[in-house]
Structure 1
């Protein structure tokens, strides 16, 4: 299972001393790393870095990714892991303190200067997710209250207490880290939906003898093998563009092409390889007969269900997608033998 963790470094570019954490740290002095973080890496859920111990002072959020140089070097004293389910975020802002007056619910990142609720919010309630609420001077880290973390199930009744009343200009939900996805291709449910053949060349075989003869036909052909893979997700998938996972195929799909590739949502995977193929056909011909063999180019489209096990923030869900394979290959088709 993919862990939620943060790795912090003493110097920029991930150099110097480092520490790794998987849960909240109320006071970095306790582990000898206070006011010395200059770069960091986040894996999984977001983390919040605070100016003071016990999650006090100004804050800065860090979502999954690498940060070779943090905005405020050597000024973090506590760290908090965001454990909430960050899917389908929802926050309601209220015009007045104590959740009174007009209200408006938001489900996505919003620049309030473009919204009819700009400079109106005085309190809030968070239904789902975790949100960062920014005041007009949010980039001035010295001003307490201009950058606020709002978590699921929490409410704040009076923005006056933090100097944010009628000053909210930007809100955004924190994003979960990329999920860990395990894919299982359900080959027993494979369906062939389209198959076409085109002729390349013919060759004949004759048995002029009075008894049945056994032949082995062998041909070497230079051919471009290509297989295009595409994963189609359902409309309600929880996977976002950029999520990736490895998909293991079976050798019989095309023995000349790798049986594993990485799926990234939003992209189509295409593999092409030039190779010489040996086609060997054992055949028995009755006496005084001939048979025509036809070399054919084959294009075949198959669809196969894929079971996706998605692990995110300690929770596991199962979804289904569809693997489409367009395979180009060659084959040899014999006709019925004829008397000569």
Structure 2
């Protein structure tokens, strides 16, 4: 529990939840926090740590039927963006950390990702399918500015003429515009930009270390003007927080050049339910109970939702209203727009970089 006067600034989560795989847990007691407050001392230095890890593979097959991707890869585990609702938080427990503050402050870095990707694309039995960067955590989070692993991976995709999609909410993607434009020449790239609100106040508390909304709209505009197809994820939609913004957000991103929109309704599985509930009672105490009840209403009376086919769209009256608004937004602002299917036919001759005789 965090002392109300010791709120951790610049972070989404305000606690480290217990790792379900561990028997023992670490607790910061109230009496210690009170002592630090009275003495003017920091109970926590709140610094981000970058930790190198060395996985054997980097491309993951996605078996979920309602995620919308077949293969993904993640250059980083954990994400400094600190989005309070992030479904990826639970995956940090697999690495031995908490889904709370650890997820935002202990970032695992896969420096071997480019070489692992190249080895994968050169496999004789690999048939080109779009690989999505950021299937779990943002490939353009702050760590990328230092390590440039995402850029190196884009160079590999370009070298082997292989299709790739990107999901991000960071304007750092514009640094790699040269590579994105080169990939777009052969229809090998699409970008999914996440925009959750048009309000900076909402963005700041939901997603504390992400690019501003203005910058994200600029990303959509600049990528679109350069011929790079952009889909915008209005995700997640959270009842009574950003659900009233669906039509204005759709209009804004369409005018910026987006070709389509997608959405999900927030679900708070595993440790995220505790993290989100703790956060909203501190960040929005006047509406916390209302928001939590409405989220539960979308998921059969619980914050946790794991049923395929239902978990992303929810059920019930509130969920139906949200889904209907998104349908209306598509009809109104995206009626004559289509995202292209990426090119999978160029990769095969580039596996060995040699001409075939027969």
TM-score, normalised by the number of residues in structure 1: 0.22
Query: Greater relative contact order (Cα 8 A, min sep 6): structure 1 or 2?
Result: 2
Which one has a bigger Cα radius of gyration? 1
Higher strand share: 1
Higher helix share: 2
TM-score, normalised by the number of residues in structure 2: 0.21
